[in-house]
Structure 1
Amino acid sequence: MSDALRHVMGALEGGSEGEAAAVLRALGVEADRRLPARETPRTPLPPPGGSTAVHSEVEWV
């Protein structure tokens, strides 16, 4: 951890969460900088009606 970050953490240590948030906002820190979620590629579903090339012998008990 850098000395600058240690100094900031030490300065915020004694205050409340609200005070820390106000100080960080004043310093230009944004509240939520999370990246947007990437869409996960998915395998396309087979067309309705199934495939005649697939044979299943599952017996439900």
Structure 2
Amino acid sequence: MNKKNDEKIDLNKIPREEMLKYEIAEELGLLDQVLESGWKSLSAKETGRIGGIMTRRRRESKKTDGVS
């Protein structure tokens, strides 16, 4: 196995761009599973849901950033 896959996830060292993904996983009740077993432990449906919510939030933030 790759050493990166063996390391535990440290929430304090997550890049800012990825924080949204972890926040959404927490909202969906999946954060503990991700921290314990990694992102590969999620089903395609769960992963797709996270991706969809991320996309929607990024679109919404662009709309609100553009409106002053």
TM-score tier (shorter): under 0.3
TM-score by length of 1: 0.28
Between 1 and 2, higher relative CO (CA 8 Å, sep ≥ 6) is seen in 2
TM-score by length of 2: 0.27
Bigger Cα Rg? 1
